Amino acid sequence: MGKPKKRLAFEALSFDYPRQVYFACERCALCCGDTEHRIRSVFLLGIEADRIARKTFRNIGEFAEKLQGFGLYVYVMRKTDLGKCIFLRENVCTIYQARPLVCRFYPFELNLEGDKYVFAYTRECPGIGKGSRVKKEYLRILFEMALGLMKKDRENLHEVVG
C-alpha cells in the first residue's frame, strides 16, 4: 500500500452548492450598488482593506468605514451619493484585481450552516439562468480563496495584536 495522501486544510471542510444553476455575468453592475429592492453593503476583511489601500494609494478611511461586532469583517465600503460603489466608473470596477471576496462571489454567497458551508445565490442578478451550468470546481476555487484569505487575515490580526 502507498502512503496516504496528505489532505489540505480546505479538503477537510466540506461545502454544499446548488447543482442546477446557470450563470453568465452580464457586466450590468447591478451588484455594485443599491437597488430599489435592496441596500448593499460590501464588508471588508482587514487584509482586503489593506490591499485596496495599496492598490489605490488611499488611506482606508477614504473608501471604508470601521465596523464593530461584525465578526471577521472590520470595514464596510463607502458608497457614492447614488448608492454605488465608489470604485465603479461607467459600470467598470476600477479595483477589479483587488476587489473584495463579496464582489468575487456575487451572485453567490457562502454561509456556515452547522458544520457545513453552503453556497446560496440571489435571483436578483440578471445573469442567473443564463450561460453555462455553474460547476463544483468553480465554487471550490471560491471556497478555497475565502478560507485562505480569512486564515491570512486572522494571522495578520494576530501579528498586529499579539
Consecutive H or E run containing 22: strand 22-23
Model pTM above 0.75: yes
pLDDT, position 157: 64
pLDDT, position 135: 95
Q: Determine which of 21-25, 60-64, 124-128, 149-153 has the lowest per-residue pLDDT on average.
A: 149-153
| More confident of the two residues 82 and 37 | 82
- Residue 55, C-beta contacts closer than 8 angstroms, at least 6 positions apart: 95, 97, 98
- Residue 99, C-beta contacts closer than 8 angstroms, at least 6 positions apart: 93
Q: How far apart are CA 162 and CA 143, in angstroms?
A: 28
Task: Give 102-152 pLDDT, tens digit per residue.
Answer: 999 999 998 888 888 999 999 999 999 999 999 999 999 999 999 899 889
User: What is the DSSP annotation of 96-124?
Assistant: GGG--HHHHHTTEEEEEETTEEEEEE-TT
pLDDT, position 64: 97
pLDDT, position 1: 47
Q: Which amino acid is at 15?
A: F
Which has the closest alpha carbon to 17: 127, 124, 105?
Answer: 105
Task: Give 71-93 pLDDT, tens digit per residue.
Answer: 788 999 999 999 999 999 999 99
Q: Is the pLDDT of residue 37 over 50?
A: yes
Q: Average pLDDT for residues 45-65, to the nearest whole number? A: 96
